[in-house]
Structure 1
Amino acid sequence: MTPLPDCYCPADGTRVPAGTLAWCCPLCRGPLDLDFAPTPAPLKSLTGRVNSLWRYAETLPLASPTTTLGEGRTPFVELRDGISAKLDFLMPTLSFKDRGAVLLAELALRLAPEQVIADSSGNAGTAIAAYCARARLPCTVYVPEGTSVKKLEQIQAHGAHVNLVEGDRAATAAAAREAADAPGTFYASHVHNPYFLHGTKTYVHELWEDMGGLLPDVIVVPVGNGTLLLGAALAVAELHSAGLIDRRPALYAVQAATVAPLAHAWAEGAADLTRTTPPPATPTLAEGIAIPDPPRARQILRAVRESGGTFLTVTEDQLRHAQLDLASQGLYVESTGVACWAAVREGALGARTAVVPLCGAGLKTGLAPASPA
């Protein structure tokens, strides 16, 4: 079996040896990155490989998966005006989070913990629960009160225990992190654990293959904790370093206007959230990206800046209209998953080509209610 790479703290450089259950930097308690710089395979060499994200084996920190459900290789379809969509709501658990969850489950199998815990507003918890079920690992998912009943049903159907936390998403994360310090516990954090990012980056490797070895001018991604955006940045860097693309696309990050700490920091020219005070968050239909204090904020802002991208925000009415617009095109997507389409469907990108992810199925939340008259 290929040795696991070490982790390190991107904030202070502290190293964490492979093979431990450590989930954060022991000094600053911040998220970790992997000491891993893969070289992706050329386009022609992908022919005939397994039709899942594991076809990009050279770019993944784990090999020989046993928990796979065939995740990845989702359809790529044109919407209109040079904008295409990646249908990641057609993954096994109906969201893009399967890309990272399968790597976390594979890692947990190798580390053999006594229990696995996760925290989530719904989709990540569902994905972790499903892949832990596949791996026969006991799993507890911490979720905030107010989480969609349909998402709770899906988590429980996979056999995971649900721990409902009073308060918001931040309170839920705090409760899970406290539990994560118990001996024998693997914290399947889609925020702190870098294996999740290396799973989500396969989204861009697939785009590159879908487009015949090219990438669009702009990759638009929804941002709460920023896992898809940071994964995209990883993949773009890998492809560029290997000489497989000659230019890097701009990364456009989308937040709900009511919970937009990163967009506010961006507008103030801040490098982190510590230099800005965004207005208080209010409820949003885009519950999956309603993160008031993302732990990887500095990395997210830097990735967008270095790509030549920007931040966009969307209103609740824009989310409602975008969900109905996509449904009229045959695509039933949850209200968080339509955020990127809401941001760009009325020409915000001009003549540039772009790809948006449709991240979660509409069955998870139903149609967004009409706004009060």
Structure 2
Amino acid sequence: MDDEQLSAPTAPHLHDRSGKRYPLDSPRWRGEDGSPLAVGPLPGLRPEQIDTAERSLWRYHAALPVPLSHRVSLGEGCTPMVRTAWGSQHVHFKLEWFNPTSSFKDRGVSVMMSHLAAHGADRVLEDSSGNAGASVAAYAAAAGVRARIIVPAATSAAKILQARAYGAEIELVGGTRDEVADEAVRQSKEIPYASHNWHPLFIQGTKTVAYEMWESLGFTAPDNVVLVAGAGSNVIGCDLAFGELLGAGLIDRRPRLFVGQPEHWATIADTVNGIDRAARGDRVPTIAEGASIAHPVRLPEAVEAVRRSGGGACAVTEAEIHAAVRALSARGLYAEPTSAVAAAALDRFTASGEIAPGETTVVVLTGAGLKSAEKMAAVFAEHSAVPREHGGAR
């Protein structure tokens, strides 16, 4: 395959789970069968196709099905990957809060909003527990597009403030995160739905975090990637990118994907492990609010991504999340509780021996503690010092 074919694949398309195809410029956000849409297979990106003059995720534009002429960018991507001692090993922490709105969501939203802007959208709707709403609000402002963000009433005030500051219309809805999503689906009949859970171009943006790992590690794949999952977009994005690289012969194996979720919101982990969720009893609120999704839209795809990689998934307790927040902060990593679920999962898989000290492991920290000030205050009010007995503590 020559360079032109790799950089400009012919007729990229969308498809639903039934296999029905739709044009890439289709305004629909889900298939006729009611399933989420995905972009058809794209070729992997070779090192020489990286636009090294570009310091954003758009350096990988040859792997993105969006025209550069319509990109909406605030400089997202190219986040630091810091190698740090953790217990008896060293791991790389990918600091996604260095994105413009302090969350990994900016990757997906930049690509999604670029696609929508290219096709004439002047108004968008999103539902979010915080980070995605702030991101859509920011990129809508950058694109000159009006945004309505439907938000759970219990969302952190700082996250709601951020979305309002960008000029978005905010609608607070009581109930669970899934009830908020149901309200958004109802309103999507009138307003184009820029959903980070449903829109297929969002996943195309999240996959760039894996391309960055590959480039940062000298165009090799890590052995393990540890992630927190709510809806699972980072899990699916990593699976997509590493699959593209493997298919192009640019890596020789997929990294194993290890996923952590809060124990009462562990739909992906429970499905991977064959656990009956009902056995956990009623769902209770979690400090990791960004991962409290009961019914992930792309559940089968997230589960298959974990299984295909040979990785694993686990449900972590609130106490483990709190301890992970403190252990990360002790290393100068002020990660919000949702992010810290990944560090708690790292401890679990390290203790089980599934992640070994000699392996190259990347842990993705998705958002900053500054965005969850009230919850961070609650964590540190419990203890006046970092507990040294924690597996990740020094």
Instruction: Sort the TM-score into its range (normalised by shorter chain).
Output: over 0.9
Q: Distance in 1 between matches of 2:116 and 2:280?
A: 37
2:94–2:365 Cα contact (<8 Å) kept:
yes
Per the alignment, residue 387 of structure 2 pairs with none
**Equivalences for 1:20-169 in 2 at 5 Å?**
20-27=26-33, 29-42=34-47, 44-46=48-50, 48-64=52-68, 65-80=70-85, 81-169=89-177
2:229–2:260 Cα contact (<8 Å) kept:
yes
Per the alignment, residue 254 of structure 2 pairs with 248
2:76–2:107 Cα contact (<8 Å) kept:
yes
Identity of counterpart residues, as a percentage? 37
Q: Distance in 1 between matches of 2:14 and 2:52?
A: 33
Quickly say closer, same or farther: Cα 1:4–1:140, change in 2 above 3 A: farther
2:50–2:62 Cα contact (<8 Å) kept:
no
List gaps (5 residues or longer) in structure 2: 1-7, 384-394
Q: Distance in 2 between matches of 1:342 and 1:120?
A: 24
Q: Does residue 1:369 correspond to 2:378, yes or no?
A: yes
Provide Cα deviations, 1:52-87, integer angstroms capped at 9, x if missing partner. 111111110113144211110001101221311111
Q: Distance in 2 between matches of 1:343 and 1:18?
A: 36
Quickly say closer, same or farther: Cα 1:260–1:233, change in 2 above 3 A: same
Q: Which moved more, 1:125-134 or 1:309-318?
A: 309-318
Q: Distance in 2 between matches of 1:280 and 1:303?
A: 27
1:75–1:86 Cα contact (<8 Å) kept:
yes
Q: Does residue 1:335 correspond to 2:337, yes or no?
A: yes
Q: Does residue 1:8 correspond to 2:15, yes or no?
A: yes
Quickly say closer, same or farther: Cα 1:154–1:190, change in 2 above 3 A: same
Amino acid at match of 2:271: A
**1:187 match: secondary structure:** coil
**1:244 match: secondary structure:** coil
Q: Using structure 1 for the length normalisation, give the TM-score.
A: 0.92
Quickly say closer, same or farther: Cα 1:368–1:216, change in 2 above 3 A: farther
Q: Distance in 1 between matches of 2:301 and 2:377?
A: 32
1:41–1:58 Cα contact (<8 Å) kept:
no
Per the alignment, residue 367 of structure 2 pairs with 360
Q: By how many angstroms is 1:46 displaced?
A: 3.2
Per the alignment, residue 388 of structure 2 pairs with none
Per the alignment, residue 224 of structure 2 pairs with 218
Q: Which moved more, 1:362-371 or 1:31-40?
A: 362-371
**1:365 match: secondary structure:** helix
Provide Cα deviations, 1:1-37, integer angstroms capped at 9, x if missing partner. x897321102x1222223232111123x221011241
List gaps (5 residues or longer) in structure 1: none
Quickly say closer, same or farther: Cα 1:54–1:114, change in 2 above 3 A: closer
Q: Distance in 2 between matches of 1:134 and 1:213?
A: 32
Per the alignment, residue 212 of structure 2 pairs with 206
**Length, aligned pairs only:** 363
Amino acid at match of 1:369: A
Q: Distance in 1 between matches of 2:363 and 2:174?
A: 33
Q: Distance in 2 between matches of 1:137 and 1:46?
A: 29
Amino acid at match of 1:328: A
Q: Using structure 2 for the length normalisation, give the TM-score.
A: 0.87
Q: Distance in 1 between matches of 2:156 and 2:52?
A: 40
1:89–1:95 Cα contact (<8 Å) kept:
yes
Provide Cα deviations, 1:292-320, integer angstroms capped at 9, x if missing partner. 11111111111111110110222111111
Q: By how many angstroms is 1:269 displaced?
A: 7.0
**2:332 match: secondary structure:** coil
2:49–2:62 Cα contact (<8 Å) kept:
no
Q: Superposition RMSD on alpha carbons, in Å?
A: 2.0
**2:337 match: secondary structure:** coil
Q: By how many angstroms is 1:101 displaced?
A: 0.4
Q: By how many angstroms is 1:285 displaced?
A: 0.8
1:133–1:158 Cα contact (<8 Å) kept:
yes
Q: Does residue 1:296 correspond to 2:298, yes or no?
A: yes
Provide Cα deviations, 1:92-141, integer angstroms capped at 9, x if missing partner. 00000000000111111122234200011100111111000000000001
Quickly say closer, same or farther: Cα 1:277–1:299, change in 2 above 3 A: farther
Structure number having the greater helix percentage:
2
